Amino acid sequence: MADGIEQKSSNQMWGGRFASGPSAIMEEINASIGFDKKLYAQDIRGSIAHATMLAAKGIISAEDKDKIIHGLNTILSEIEAGKFVFSRKLEDIHMNIEARLADLIGPAAGRLHTARSRNDQVALDFRLWVKEELQKTESMLSALIAAFLDRAEEHADTVMPGFTHLQTAQPVTFGHHCMAYVEMFGRDRARVRHAIEHMDESPIGAAALAGTGYPIDRHMTANALGFREPTRNSIDTVSDRDFALEFLSIASICATHLSRLAEEIVIWSTPQFGFIRLSDAFSTGSSIMPQKKNPDAAELVRAKTGRINGSLIALLTIMKGLPLAYSKDMQEDKEQVFDSAESLELAIAAMTGMIRDLEVRVDKMREAAGSGYSTATDLADWLVREAGLPFRDAHHATGHAVALAEKKGCDLADLSLEELQAINPAITAGIFDVLSVEASVASRTSFGGTAPSEVRRQIAWWRGKN
């Protein structure tokens, strides 16, 4: 037990190389336990797998392995019960656990670090944590996609204006608009799955940077830890943080999608649009204006995108000038990932709740769908299809019709047949069959179009997709 007590007081992990302990400033800048204690479960899990392999290969005794595993499980229970005291003097999660293990089981604890380094140990812990976080993100994105599919099915026939430049363009259905977000978040989920596949390699056994001379079995530890296989180059293994960068990249893209959605929710919930009403669960009031119902949840989702993007840039900047293999700079790799993971989880959960709870104001969407001469393209298409005009001529004639309707202060469908024929004699009464917003959306039957029948087909495809 004396070894453990001494380690707690002065941290002898550097051995005899240094005559005195670190200065207070060095201790402060060097310590990472304030944030990397989040990796305790992964650190213990990796150590149990490593000790089991060492015993299987005859590198440590079965008796020492059993002591180590019992001690590690005791520490896990202490941490989860809130009884474990983390020490800044011990720098990081690895040394905190190792010191406590020495207290619990004595000299056998010192055998655990055989054939490994903190370099491959932290690479393992961090990779395990990111992999688990990606799996959680995949599940949360699936729930968000399911929420959109339900709303899309419910509103496959609900017409609304489609926008370009935030100006009314053509009528679409709200179901079709919802399916646009299904596509976005579906790509995010695919990126998550690809990232899990890319990083599914075990770092443990790479040691400091050159591997080890001990007869270890890296495939055994990889299998025990749920990895596909071990990494194939020890230098790259300890210097690689691509998995963290890929997580942050995915998080930034996904957060951008969430932010675009949040922006639409903010706009649509204004009295000027009035397309939706947010539930009280995702709104707040004003301290001075009693009539206000603010879309604060959506606004905060929008704001968290900047935070996540900043984390990606921070880690890219940390990594960009590092020579191989490990540098202490890489200690700064975790806080950005931890913070972004928390922000992304919260944003996805909030958005899933908002989409499931929001009230769609079908009447307001229908009213707005015909504004801004949204069926003008249908008029031009009719002139091409029925009157045989080249599209550019049809476009020109439609422009005249829009100008006339604007001058009269009416919709295109309110122009008389005589007025339309004065623009082009080929126009017949059949033109009125395409000038309603319902007829417009129903006609857009091309693959991936806004026609209700096509929206339902895409919903069915997504429901059958894993």
Across the strands, what pairs with 173?
Answer: 159
The Cα 7–Cα 13 span in angstroms is 8
The percent helix, strand, coil of the chain (3-state, each to 5) is: 70, 5, 25
The Cα 183–Cα 47 span in angstroms is 41
Q: Which are the contacts of 196, defined by CB distance < 8 A and separation ≥ 6?
A: 131, 134, 135, 138
Long-range contacts of 230-236 (CB under 8 A, 24+ apart): 230/201, 230/202, 230/203, 230/204, 230/205, 231/201, 231/202, 231/203, 231/206, 232/201, 234/120, 234/206, 234/207, 234/209, 234/210, 235/209, 235/210, 235/324, 235/325, 236/324, 236/325
The DSSP secondary-structure symbol of 161 reads E
- Pick the catalytic residue: 286, 327, 371, 453? 286
The residue among 282, 279, 284, 280 whose CA lies nearest residue 294 is: 284
Active site residue 286: yes
- β-strands 167-173, 201-202: how paired? unpaired
Active site residue 165: yes
Terminal-to-terminal C-alpha distance of the chain: 53
CB atoms within 10 A of CB 340: 27
- The DSSP annotation for 362-410 comes to HHHHHHHHTGGGTTHHHHHHHHHHHH---HHHHHHHHHHHHHHHHHHT-
217 torsion bin: left (phi>0), alpha (psi -120 to 50), beta (else) = beta
The Cα 60–Cα 221 span in angstroms is 15
For the record, the structure tokens of 55 come out as 């015993």
For the record, the structure tokens of 97 come out as 């656990």
Count of H-run helices and E-run strands, the chain: 19, 6
- Pick the catalytic residue: 165, 287, 416, 446? 165
CA distance readout (Å), 317 to 153, 242, 246, 312 = 44, 13, 14, 9
CA distance readout (Å), 217 to 63, 103, 154, 204, 316 = 19, 29, 55, 10, 33
Active-site residues, by number, are 165, 286
